[in-house]
Amino acid sequence: KNLTIAGRSFGGGVALVLALMQEKNMLQTKIDRLILMNTMSYKQPLPSMMRVLQKPIIGYLGIHLLSAETIAKEAYAYAFSNDKLIPKDSVEKSAKLIDMPNAKYAYKQTVDYIIPDDIAKIEKEYKDIKIPTLILWGKDDVSIPYIFGKRLHQDIPNSYFSLFKGVGHMPQEEAPQKVIYEIEKFIKKTSRKPRSLRRG
């Protein structure tokens, strides 16, 4: 079936790979549209917290010595432009997830491999993506700066770019109405008009 694939951050990177797989006829389904938010898409410097966690010994000790609540709070502090908008219940839920068995190990593995070794090769293929693509970004994102969103817009031919001022790495949390508006506008703009019924 025809799909609209949406992804944010690392999930946006996965969505990009799926779109590239489609261009190589490697998918059995068909992707009609792509929606990307603050997407990991190029080789870039990582936030200081992630750089520390990537260090072999320090990172391993840090991830296991820090409390789940501290990790969750730090992650949200990086993600939000306005700390006052951070939902307390979301931090608590994240902390509970991080406290689950093997969750810290999985978190460490994600940080270690968040940028693929073959990212330079993948970057060159973005120009091959032909499906309509909406790129949404928070201007105040310190995790993945908006310059990468602009670059992605330049690299994907049939793309639309919208930048949200005063918003960080989580536009869907800090500016949900703006995100909904842009997505609805994009879907309406890229929807195929139904064919008129032929009379027999």
- Please report the pLDDT score of residue 58 as a whole number: 85
- Beta-bridge mates of residue 133: 34, 159
Q: In this predicted structure, what is the pLDDT of residue 2?
A: 80
Three-class secondary structure assignment of 165-199: CCCCCCHHHHCHHHHHHHHHHHHHHHCCCCCCCCC
- β-bridge partners, 37: 8, 136
The per-residue pLDDT for 184 is 97
> What pLDDT score does 199 carry?
36
**pLDDT band per the 50, 70, 90 thresholds, residue 193:** low
Instruction: Provide the 3-class DSSP secondary structure of residue 131.
Output: coil
The burial class, CB within 10 Å (0-12 / 13-18 / 19+), for 33 is: buried
Q: What is the dihedral of CA 18, 40, 104, 52, to 10 degrees?
A: 150
Q: Model's pTM, two decimal places?
A: 0.86
Tokens of 75: 């992650």
pLDDT of 5 over the 70 cut: yes
